[in-house]
């Protein structure tokens, strides 16, 4: 079974430019997460989807970040415009369960973003 797939793996952009990250979760996983991981720290949730619905986006900086999961499968996270402080690893994760169901979360390899 394929794991969570993310692309690109690495991205270098200049500040003020837009950037987009793509994630394809494990087949059949209803819930998809986007996390931000700064160097030397644990992942922090940006947004959580159950199918195509964003059920928790309270930590997503909506002035510059946006996300979508139109058909409830793959998802795109966008930053426009990027700032120097956005340099980090963006991780996607998915899980079979939803809401209060407890299922393991599986992570993708991440996209390492460098903003210059």
Partner 1 sequence: GENVEQHPSTLSVQEGDSAVIKCTYSDSASNYFPWYKQELGKRPQLIIDIRSNVGEKKDQRIAVTLNKTAKHFSLHITETQPEDSAVYFCAARDNQGGKLIFGQGTELSVKP
Does residue 91 touch partner 1 according to CB under 8 A?
A: yes
Q: Which residues does 100 contact at the CB level (< 8 Å), separation at least 6?
A: none
The contact mask relative to partner 1 for 35-64 (x = CB under 8 A, - = no) is -----xxxxxx--x------xx--------
What are the residues whose beta carbons fall under 8 Å from the beta carbon of 41, sequence distance 6 or more? none
Task: Report the candidate in 7, 18, 6 with the shortest Cα–Cα distance to residue 79.
Answer: 18
- Cβ at position 57, least distance to partner 1 in Å: 11
Q: Which is nearer to partner 1, 34 or 65 (CB)?
A: 34
Length reported for the chain: 116
The contact set with partner 1 (CB under 8 A) reads: 4, 31, 40-45, 48, 55-56, 91, 95, 97-102, 104-110
């Amino acid at each position: 079974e394929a794991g969570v797939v993310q692309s690109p793996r690495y991205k270098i952009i200049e500040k003020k430019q837009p950037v987009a990250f793509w994630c394809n979760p494990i087949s059949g996983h209803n819930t998809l997460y986007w996390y931000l991981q700064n160097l030397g720290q644990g992942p922090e949730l940006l947004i959580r989807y159950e199918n195509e619905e964003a059920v928790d986006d309270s930590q997503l900086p909506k002035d510059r970040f946006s996300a979508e999961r139109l058909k409830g499968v793959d998802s795109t996270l966008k930053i426009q415009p990027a700032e120097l402080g956005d340099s980090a690893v963006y991780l996607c994760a998915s899980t079979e369960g939803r809401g209060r169901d407890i299922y393991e979360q599986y992570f993708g390899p991440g996209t390492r973003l460098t903003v210059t």
